[in-house]
A and B are shown apart, each in its own frame.
Chain A
Amino acid sequence: MPRQREGSPFTGLSTIALKEAADHMTSARIHLVLLLILLTAIGAVYAAIGQIKATVSEDQFLFLSLLTTARDPLPSFVAFLGFLLPLVSIALGFDGINGEYNRRTLSRVLAQPIYRDAFLTGKFLGGLLVIAICLLALWLLVTGMGILLLGLPPGGEEVIRGLAFLLASFVYAGVWLAVSLVFSTLFRSPATSALAALALWLIFTIFWSMLAPLIASAFVQIDPYDPVSQLNFIELQRGIARISPQTLYDEMTLGLLNPTTRAFGPVFTSQLKNALMGSPLPLSESLRLVWPQLAGMIAAVVLLFTVAYVSFQRQEIRA
Chain B
Amino acid sequence: MSPVIETNGLVKRYGRFTAVDHVNLSVEKGEVFGLLGPNGSGKTTTILLLLGLTEPTEGEVRVNGLDPLRQPLAVKSRVGYLPDQVGFYDAMTARENLAYTARLAGLRGTDAAGRIITALSRVRLADVADKRVGTFSRGMRQRLGLAEVILKNADIAILDEPTGGLDPQATQELLELIGSLAHEGMTIVLSSHLLSMVQAVCHRVALFNRGRIGLTGRVSDLTSAVLGGAYEVEVEASGADVPAVLGGAEHVTGIAVAGPGLWRVDADADVRPQIARRIVEAGGALKNMSIRRTTLDEVYVRYFQETKNQQEKKDAEAA
Task: Name B56-107 residues within 8 Å CB distance of A.
Answer: 69-74, 76-77, 79-81, 83, 85-91, 100-101, 103-106
Report whether A108 and B48 are in contact in the complex, using a CB–CB cutoff of 8 Å: no
Q: Inter-chain contact count A-B, CB under 8 Å?
A: 89
- Kindly state whether residue A12 has any CB partner on chain B within 8 Å: yes
Number of B interface residues at 8 Å Cβ cutoff, please give it. 33
Residues of A within 8 A of B (CB): 3-7, 11-12, 15-16, 19, 23, 26, 103-105, 107-115, 314, 316-319
Please name 8 pairs of A and B residues whose Cβ atoms are closer than 8 Å in the assembled complex, sorted by A: A6-B73, A11-B106, A23-B91, A103-B88, A104-B87, A108-B81, A316-B54, A319-B87
Would you give the shortest CB distance from B138 to chain A, in whole angstroms?
Answer: 12
The smallest C-beta distance from B197 to any residue of chain A, in angstroms, reads 23
Cβ-defined contact, A11 with B100, below 8 A: no
Q: How far is the CA of A115 from the CA of B71 in the complex (A)?
A: 10
Cross-interface CB contact of A103 among B51, B54, B87, B100, cutoff 8 Å:
B87
Residue from the list A7, A19, A108 in contact with B83, Cβ < 8 A: A108
Selected from A5, A16, A23, the residue in CB contact (under 8 A) with B104 is A16
B31 at interface, CB cutoff 8 A: no
Distance to closest chain A CB from B78 (angstroms): 9
Contact, CB under 8 Å: A105 / B104:
no
Q: Beyond A11-B106, A105-B88, A318-B44, is A112–B101 a contact (Cβ under 8 Å)?
A: yes
Q: A113–B51 Cα gap in the complex (Å)?
A: 11
| In contact, B90 and A103 (Cβ under 8 angstroms) | yes
B73–A114 touching, CB < 8 Å: yes
Residues of A close to B145: CB separation below 8 A: 108
B-side contacts of A105, CB under 8 Å: 87-89
- In the bound complex, CA of A103 to CA of B92 (Å): 13
B53 lies within 8 A of chain A by Cβ: yes
Tell whether, in the assembled complex, residue B104 and residue A114 are in contact, meaning their CB atoms are under 8 Å apart: yes
A3 touches B70 (CB 8 A): yes
B90 touches A109 (CB 8 A): no
Cα–Cα, bound, A3→B55 (Å): 13
Is B89 a contact of A112 with CB atoms below 8 Å? no
